[in-house]
Amino acid sequence: MKKTELPRWATGFVLPILNLMSALLVAALVIHLLGESPSASLRILVDSAILDPEGLAYTLFYASTFIFAGLAVSIAMQAGLFNIGAEGQMYVGGLGLTWAVLALDAHLPGWLMIPIAMTGAAAFGALWAFIPGYLQAKRGSHVVVTTIMFNFIAASLMNFVIVKYLIPEGQQNPASRVFADSAALPLLNKILPVLGDTPLNISFIVAILALVIYGVVVWRSSWGYKLQATGLNAHAAHYAGVKISRTIIVTMLVSGALAGLGAVNSVMGSTHYLSLNFPAGAGFVGIAIALMGRQHPVGIFLSSVLFGALIQGGFDLSLEKPNIPQETFIFIQGLIILFCGAMENFYAPAILKLINLTRPNKGA
C-alpha cells in the first residue's frame, strides 16, 4: 500500500525542523547580503542566548511571556478559533493586575498580593476575549475580524486609561506609579545565583505549570475532547450533544485569561509598573508559536524558547555587528511565520515521496 499521509514523527518533528531551517537559511542569506558572516552571527546568537547563563535567563524570561501567548492562541485553535487578539488581551490583562496592585500593594503581603494580581490579569484578559467570543457564538461575527479590532480598541483604551488616570501627579512618563515590593515577583536568581542580575522569575514556573495543565485538559478531559471535536467538525460536535456556542465562549474566556496572564511576567517581574504598549508584540508572537509548536505543549515550549533566544541573541548581535539592525529579529520572526505557518506543508509531498520510495513495495 502506498502511504497517502505522513506518519506523526514526520509532521510533528521533521516538517517543523525543515521549515525552521528554511527560515534560518533565508535569514543567513540576508545577513550575508548585509555584509556580515552568517556563521559568525549564528555563533554570537547561540553564545549570548543559550550558552551564557545570564543570556539563557533572559531567553527564558522572554519565553515565559511567549508561552502564555502561545497557549492562548493554541487553546483557541483547538476549538477552531483563530484568536488574533492575544496582544490586546494581554494589554488589558496588564490593566487588571495593575488595578489590583495599585489598590492593594500597600496593605497585602506578597504571597497574597501576587495571586490576586494574577487573577486580575486573567480576569481582564478573559473579559476582553469574551466579547469577540460572544459575538462569534451568538451572532456569527468572525472572531478573526473582531479580535483584530479589539486589539486596536485595547490600544486606544489603555492609552486613555494610562494617560488620564494612572500617571502619578507631576510625572511625564506615560506609565503607572512603581509598584510596592510586595507586588514584585520572586526572581529565580535567589535560588540560582549563576543567573546573575536577570529578571527571570516564578512566571516561568507558572508557565511550565500552565503547559502541563493545558496538555491534560486538551487531551485527557471531557471538556478538551469537546473542544477538539468542535474545532475539527462542528456538525459532528453538535450531533454529539456539545453546546457549540457555550464551548466557543468558554474557550475564548480561557484563551483571553491565558493571554492576560502573559502580562504578569514583564509587568510584575521586570518593569514593576504599567507602561504604554508593554506587550510589544508578544501577543502576535504567540500566533507564530502556536503555529510552529502545532498547539502541542512541548512544541509551544520549544518555539517560545526559540523566539526568546532570537530576541536575546538578536539584541546582542546588533550590538556586536553594527551592520545588522535590531529589527532583524522581527524579520526572522516573519520568516518563521511564513515557513511554519503559511507554508507549513511545503515539504510534505517531497517527504511523502521519499518515504514511499524507501518503503519496500507491499501488495499493489
Q: Given the rule CB under 8 A, which residues bind other proteins?
A: 216, 220-223, 225-226, 228-229, 232-233, 235-246
**Residue 109 or residue 140: which is nearer to other proteins going by CB?**
140
**Residue 228 or residue 318: which is nearer to other proteins going by CB?**
228
DSSP 188: G
- Residue 262: CB atoms within 10 A of its CB come to 36
**Residue 27 or residue 290: which is nearer to other proteins going by CB?**
290
Q: How far is the CB of 344 from other proteins (least distance, A)?
A: 16
3-class DSSP assignment, residue 37: coil
**Residue 37 or residue 221: which is nearer to other proteins going by CB?**
221
Query: Which amino acid, 307?
Result: F
**Residue 7 or residue 281: which is nearer to other proteins going by CB?**
7
**Residue 64 or residue 78: which is nearer to other proteins going by CB?**
78
Cα 80 from Cα 133, distance rounded (Å): 12
Angle between helices 244-266 and 53-78 (to 10 degrees): 170
Query: Which amino acid, 311?
Result: I
Contact of 73 with 147, CB cutoff 8 Å: no
Angle between helices 328-337 and 282-292 (to 10 degrees): 40
Contact of 162 with 274, CB cutoff 8 Å: yes
Q: How far is the CB of 86 from other proteins (least distance, A)?
A: 25
Q: How far is the CB of 3 from other proteins (least distance, A)?
A: 10
3-class DSSP assignment, residue 267: helix
Q: How far is the CB of 127 from other proteins (least distance, A)?
A: 23
Q: How far is the CB of 223 from other proteins (least distance, A)?
A: 6
Q: How far is the CB of 292 from other proteins (least distance, A)?
A: 20
Place of cell 476582553: 128
- Residue 3: CB atoms within 10 A of its CB come to 10
**Residue 182 or residue 295: which is nearer to other proteins going by CB?**
295
Place of cell 511576567: 265
Q: How far is the CB of 239 from other proteins (least distance, A)?
A: 4
Q: How far is the CB of 203 from other proteins (least distance, A)?
A: 26
Q: How far is the CB of 260 from other proteins (least distance, A)?
A: 23
* Cell reading at 94: 496588564
**Residue 173 or residue 245: which is nearer to other proteins going by CB?**
245
Q: How far is the CB of 293 from other proteins (least distance, A)?
A: 18
* Cell reading at 354: 521519499
**Residue 244 or residue 276: which is nearer to other proteins going by CB?**
244
Angstrom CA distances, 5 to 189, 294, 352, 356, stand at 47, 17, 7, 10
**Residue 107 or residue 359: which is nearer to other proteins going by CB?**
359
Letter string b/e over residues 223-259, b meaning 16 or more CB atoms within 10 A of that residue's CB: ebbbbbbbbeebeebeeeebebeebbbbbbbbbbbbb
Cα 194 from Cα 183, distance rounded (Å): 24
- Residue 331: CB atoms within 10 A of its CB come to 16
